[in-house]
Structure 1
Amino acid sequence: MPYQIVIVDDTQVNLILFDALVKRLGDAQSAVFSDAQEGLRWAQEHPFDLLIVDYMMPELDGIEFIRLLRARPGREDIPILMITANDQKQVRYQALEVGATDFLTKPIDKTEFLARARNLLQLGDHRRKLADRAQWLAEEVQKATGEIVARERETVFRLSKAAEYRDPETGGHILRMAHYSELIARELGCSTQEQEVLRDAAPMHDIGKVGIADHILLKPGRLTPEEFEVMQHHAAIGYEILSHSASRVLQLGAEIALSHHEKYDGSGYPKRLHGEDIPLFGRIVAVADVFDALTSERPYKKAWPLDTATQFLRNGSGKHFDPRCVDAFFAGWDTVMTIRERFQDQA
């Protein structure tokens, strides 16, 4: 494909000269404009490889032309050759500041023109190749990173499922509450990255239950005060299991494990944190976890009706739960129902 060279000069003789010189470059074609405004519009909208622009033009001089063109996305690195007079040193300084790449002085020397034009076209080629190489490297890094993230997600999910064998909760619960958590984070305005890392970390919220004795963890009836005190230790156990990892997901899982049983009014455990002293993701997971626990059947209880569970959340807003998290949960209610239907417990 031939090089596309744009020539902007208000003098017709110069346009004819430059057009003829461009043809001598060989694999090149030109778009010529005697009106600077028209030339600028064309250069802003069409791809090209080199711009040749005169400084002395009415209405729009060469410096302003370059400034406006460089401000256009995708036009930051295209080579620009400005034509000036020998005594216009200050003009050349200004042109360099706004983005000129090289200069030619009048009267134009044909040999010099051809050499400088070829050099600038080669410079553009090298920049494109570097950009393509950088894009390729970025894509390869993204692929490799994606594979690492996928493996980490699988590890986290399998680690979370390990707790299932000691706890009557299900894999469906893990998936539902993780996606509920992601939904709440999205409604609260968290970044996409924050939403994703929360979704990946939330399933580890109760991993500490692996350290609780069976006669307490699996007790079908209500726990005694002494047994409940032992059960509360699972938050700290989960934190200890996860907190020393170098993984961002596991570190966040440790934070969630420690904080998702705190209550907004300060009556939760293990640290009796109050309000926004509770980490945000702990407050989010508290809503997601309790809602799914209430609406899921367990060997020791029937599932609550939806209206009863939703009323429980509303009644607990400002007491058990962060009001903002409760509001965010109900703001995405249609998605809540979709998640609930998608990740049903297997018989």
Structure 2
Amino acid sequence: MSVDTYYTLGRSGLRVSRLALGTMTFGTEWGWGADEDTARQLFNTYVDAGGNFIDTADLYTNGTSEAWIGKFVAERKLRDRVVIATKFSYNAEPGNPNAGGNGRKNILRAVEGSLKRLGTDYIDLYILHTWDRITPAEEVMRSLDDLVRSGKVRHVGLSDTPAWYAARAQTLAEWRGYEPLTTLQLEYSLVERNIENEFVPLGLELGMGVMVWSPLASGLLSGKYKPSEGSFSGGGRLDTLRDSQNPAFQKISERNWQIISELETVAKELDRSMAQVALNWTANQPGVGSVIIGATKLTQLQDNLKALDFQISSELSDRLQTVSRPKSQFPYSYFESEIQGMIHGGKPVGLKPAGYYPHIFIESAGAGVS
């Protein structure tokens, strides 16, 4: 299945590529990333392959990412062809508490900034970036609904929130007639599978497609990093940011080295790169609507774009599932076969199959986006 096969996102009618282009790497303000010429090349390669889903945020590279996307889209006259997702929450004005967070004041401030940088009068998918632990779901959902009714936003979603908060937000939308959530943007990969407990069932039940970020665990699953005398080598973001407080870059553990070893073995058997196999596995898990791929080099993107061109056999998939399976924790350990058998009289639980909510997809008419 190629990048120019489009699936609807969640229960919406929005048709997006299974692989989305992540643009947190567009800009060098953070000490790593791609310069403008390289970013333009990455963008053009993605859309020429048929990709139509672009992910960014107002925070990324201090606004450079959004500005460059706006420029690249305008250069190719692609505004009606691409789906632009951007996010709000983070504060770029120290000392001003209302220049961040998820309250109505910041949402309305942030959307105007994003529209200006992107050079557009509407955003296809507007996403709350991270839960601020303060703003009620009622305020967030009413504010997002107002933006949809105003025409400045087409669809809305949440990223990095508790499952209970997302469930409350979607229930409020259904109850009050607000624009429903289309997506949950969450970290998911062979080394980070915790969303399987709550978020995947939540998305399937309430119509939110999971939009995966960091499917390669910040590059750990690409094969770039190797254990070296109790540490690791490889450079890049994981090396540069391993001492930061950001949990997304704390990926080095004995468990993860075991996963990498098995992934490398499976990739050799399939004659595919480790990155392609890791992306393929993630994209084909239940509930996943689209997987965000990011790159700083053209060769990385070209390799990633081939991730859906093959199938992983059930035997090889089982090996990856086994080595990466998270340790069962309470209360989820009570939902497994032995305890459930005590509830159901020893009979099978009868869960609906993973494909109970089928994806709807549309094959593209052409080979690319021009």
Q: Which of the pair is proportionally richer in helix?
A: 1
Q: Larger radius of gyration, structure 1 or 2?
A: 1
Q: TM-score, normalised by structure 1?
A: 0.25
Q: TM-score, normalised by structure 2?
A: 0.24
Q: Which of the pair is proportionally richer in strand?
A: 2
Q: Which has the higher contact order (CA 8 A, sep 6+)?
A: 2
